[in-house]
A and B are shown apart, each in its own frame.
Chain A
């Protein structure tokens, strides 16, 4: 086991110098694209995601029309240049489609789709750089972009990941930690009610350890909520100054 990477050092520090329950630096921007109805750019550590929201708008395809509410489409994409190894993208990557579907289901619970019958809301998520936690970064970016587009939502959706290693839970895993066989749990949460709207775990984790990991991830989500809320408040206030007067 000596060759194995040490995830948490005896001093209690992780590979990138964080404490176990510390999230990475977050940088957010809204309204970055002029053509989209709403857009956002977010960096969580070295994971970077760009989100664009179009809609509610007239459905492009007739098949997608629902008569009582809007349909949400999510396209989740990982750029071929985003990871250490450059790889050509498969035309229809099943994994990406599945993540897209998962994100779509997460947002269907909070977006007030019933106020827009026969319309369509398109969310395009593009991962520009991956360093672990691409899915939760994408969810946070989508939340910002939807709010920026002025689409009514009952609450924020905040996401964060947590893992379990060396008998302790660690928050917001980076690529090194994720690829070192640490079970990683991604949680999306509605901070107002504390309800969990998405839970994803891709490897095995002992059931006894599940609770502390969820608790830590939820705590990370709450921290995300404060960061996102702050960003939205600043951008709304800045817009109000010039749009209204």
Chain B
């Protein structure tokens, strides 16, 4: 099967209600509509400033681009990397238009969940998060200039270990109920809405471990067996294969694609013809499941 066959298969369904616009195109002349993201008004008409799909919610019209940097929303789960340790804050690279800010006051520190941060905490900030550390966090608020303020005030969030990072375009990640998933193959996946995905060994946290002062911020990986490494690599490559074919990514899609690629060797998953076949099989399975 080649590219044309995929195209044929997808054509016909849903293609009618996709309204594609390009920059400078008039979306509507009706002044009853409000302008949302990706639009501007000129002479009472609503004009698109992006190439994408028109998204209408009641009277609000916005354009959804299909390839763009991450635009955060409050409550989003993101995966990021510390780029800088500054005064009472960390700067976090999260594939957005500016680095995110993680304030010292928005992290849980060892020894008591809620306590005031004092000067000694400020001095040892680098022992919690140093440059290059990966973390998962939630978008808490936005500053005036559009930079995101993050927080890790939950047991779910915090430093990431025991795994590898996969980066995909942020538009591919679908918003779902949970972005923390444990796959049937025994691998934990954190689907950051910013397009950073953390694939890691599943490590159950026992309550007494969580209370240990060192538990949150230590830098040591658990022992990972060769077999576990292979599964992590397989899941990573499966996600990359989905991204290569611009397919949306959620937990079910990863599971389907993982199953579809299970007969191939890990390194073969990213070969053009094999990845195509895997994505196609997974898509077909997903659509079938949707109809039931």
Q: Point out residues on A near B: beta carbons under 8 Å.
A: 31, 34, 37-38, 55-58, 67, 70, 112, 116-119, 147-156, 190-192, 229, 232-233, 236-245
Contacts and interface: CB of A to CB of B under 8 A. Distances in A.
Contact of A55 (B22, B47, B97): B97
B246 interface: yes
* B interface bracket (residues with beta carbon within 8 Å of A): 35 or more
Interface stretch (B61-69, B181-189, B203-211, B226-234): B61-69
Among A112, A118, A153, A236, which residue has the most Cβ atoms of chain B within 10 A? Answer: A236
Given A150-B67, A239-B66, A242-B248, 20 more contacts: A37-B68, A37-B69, A38-B67, A55-B69, A58-B98, A116-B146, A147-B23, A148-B51, A149-B69, A151-B50, A153-B24, A154-B23, A154-B40, A154-B47, A232-B51, A237-B18, A239-B67, A242-B10, A243-B172, A244-B18
A67 B145 contact: yes
Interface string B37-79: 0101010000101111100000000000111110000000000
Given A56-B69, A150-B65, A237 B20 contact: yes
Given A191-B24, A242-B247, A236 B66 contact: yes
A119 B20 contact: no
A156 to B, nearest CB: 6
B53 A244 contact: yes
Contact of A117 (B15, B49, B67, B146): B146
Interface of B: 7, 10-11, 13-15, 18, 20, 22-24, 38, 40, 42, 47, 49-53, 65-69, 83, 93, 97-99, 145-147, 171-172, 244-248, 283
Contacts, number: 125
**10 shortest interchain CB distances as A-B pairs:** A150-B68, A150-B65, A56-B97, A152-B49, A155-B24, A239-B66, A192-B24, A119-B97, A58-B99, A117-B145
Contacts of B93: 58
A225 to B, nearest CB: 9
Contacts of A241: 10-11, 14-15, 18
A232 B53 CA distance: 12
B97 to A, nearest CB: 4
A57 B248 contact: no
Contact of A156 (B24, B67, B68, B83): B24
